[in-house]
Amino acid sequence: MFSRIVCTSMASAVLALASGAALAQSITYSGADYASSSLGADFPSPYDIFAYTSVPGGPLDVSSPTSANIGILTFVVGVNCTTCAKTPSFDTPIDFTVNGITQQIDLQYQWSSTGPVDTLTFSTPSALSYDLGSAGMLNVSFDGLSALSGGIGTFSENVTASLSVTPVPEPSSYALMFAGLGVIGFVARRRRS
């Protein structure tokens, strides 16, 4: 009977350890803005402009996985190039801050022009991780970015990210679990005698 009570207590401790993520986790986020003009300056198309505009948010509950719009990509297409052979690439670090912790989104993109249409293609940025202390690790993974393409005009696309928290168990939860394992070991050893 005593060993059944101990096993039940241990199971409860393990469940408490695993359910640490059930607590509400709230974050706020913001980012830096970025603009680059004359993307096609090597050619007869010096007018193309690319911009990233941050969309701050929060407080946002991330105790369960959620998605958020964190920015807007804008591509202003000017005069097109009919003889462009080069496709210049750009690698732009953009600050992204969560609860006061700043990291950088590595935004890589490439410009090209086929004559009537200019295009920006993007690589999906690498995921970011933020240590929120006892609240856990916040994982920010970015959705794939569509190409911005068109003739003379303005084209835009939202930047969305998936946000999820991996809980970090409290030290007291570990202590409770190890104490329970010790009691189970003690009972098992005593039964053998």
**Has residue 161 been placed in a domain?**
yes
**Has residue 15 been placed in a domain?**
no
Q: What is the pTM of this model?
A: 0.73
Supply the pLDDT for residue 11. 53
**Has residue 3 been placed in a domain?**
no
**Has residue 42 been placed in a domain?**
yes
Give the span between the Cα atoms of 143 and 88, in whole angstroms. Answer: 23
Average pLDDT of the segment spanning 68-83? 87
Adjacent-strand bridge partners of 51: 35, 74
pLDDT digits (tens, 9 = 90+) for 119-171: 999 999 999 999 988 888 999 999 999 999 998 899 999 999 999 998 766 56
Give the span between the Cα atoms of 69 and 76, in whole angstroms. Answer: 21
What DSSP character marks residue 19? G
Give the span between the Cα atoms of 77 and 119, in whole angstroms. Answer: 9
**Has residue 97 been placed in a domain?**
yes
**Has residue 138 been placed in a domain?**
yes
Give the span between the Cα atoms of 30 and 46, in whole angstroms. Answer: 31
Residue 149: which domain range?
23-167
**Has residue 16 been placed in a domain?**
no
Q: Tally the domains of the chain.
A: 1
Read off the pLDDT band of 187 (50, 70, 90). confident
* DSSP state string for 167-184: ----HHHHHHHHHHHHHH
Give the span between the Cα atoms of 98 and 8, in whole angstroms. Answer: 40
Percent above pLDDT 70 for the chain: 76
pLDDT digits (tens, 9 = 90+) for 96-127: 999 999 999 999 999 988 878 889 999 999 99
Check if the beta carbon of residue 67 is closer than 8 Å to that of residue 140: no
Cα 92–chain centre separation = 17
**Has residue 95 been placed in a domain?**
yes
